[in-house]
Amino acid sequence: MEQDFKKQNLALFDLDNTLLAGDSDYNWSLFLIGEGLLDAKTHQQRNEQFYLDYKNGNLDIDQFLEFQLKPLSQHPKKFLDELHLKYMDQVIRPMMTHKAQNLVNKHKAAGDLCVVITATNSFVTKPIATAYGIEHLIGTDPEMLDGEYTGGVHGVPSFQEGKVTRINQWLAERGQQLSDFDTSYFYSDSHNDLPLMKLVTNPVAVDADTALKVYAEQQGWPRISLR
């Protein structure tokens, strides 16, 4: 006797300034400066400029990743993993909101396929996705050699149109494609995510930046706050 299984929906979540009330990438650099592992004079100004470029939509992703991933190559992975535990406790958990967790829980309870998709590197973001109870993460992947980070990038950065490439690749590896889902959600705060937001059936602007807010209003997309 055949059973009529409910068709699964897809729920995609941006991380920084969406599920998190802050930016994990930007704050990771500040954390490393605070730990004495990066020179404040040389890194703080560049970190601020890259963050401004991201918000303005003109970030050079290759230059940024060279800046952001180099510190990973300067320390053993074991040390970095231990450091990240401290980063989670001191910096990230205070950024995790009840509203964001409730949203994730709602989609999980509905049986939706939940994925965090973020431009921030997967070393920084995988433990954060896990803390929200989300198994699947698509982030920019740092290159590794013999179990240690090289400072390079593996594959396509998960940024702007790269998020479209990466979700399509990830789904293809599962034998799926976006069109298989009758209902697909993407929650984001940033106009940088418009390429992917335009492809899902249910784009949702979350605490949106000015450019995304204007576009969402024009398109009649829902706008919510998780703060």
The reply to whether 178 falls in a domain is yes
Q: Which of 144, 136, 188 is nearest to 167 (CA)?
A: 136
Burial of 68 (0-12, 13-18, 19+ CB in 10 A): buried
Choosing from 16, 23, 112, 141, the catalytic residue is: 16
Average pLDDT, 10 consecutive residues per value, the chain (227 residues): 61 98 95 94 87 88 91 96 98 98 98 98 98 98 96 96 98 96 98 98 98 98 98
CATH at 87: 3.40.50.1000
Annotation says 53 is catalytic: no
Residue 158 structural domain: 10-224
Annotation says 209 is catalytic: no
The reply to whether 96 falls in a domain is yes
Alpha-carbon 199 to chain mean position: 18
The reply to whether 112 falls in a domain is yes
Question: Where are the strands (E) in the chain, listed by range?
Answer: 10-13, 113-121, 136-145, 148-154, 184-188, 202-206, 223-224
The reply to whether 1 falls in a domain is no
Choosing from 4, 14, 81, 207, the catalytic residue is: 14
Q: Per-residue pLDDT tens for 14-47?
A: 999 999 999 999 999 999 999 999 999 888 888 8
The reply to whether 172 falls in a domain is yes
What domain count does the chain have? 1
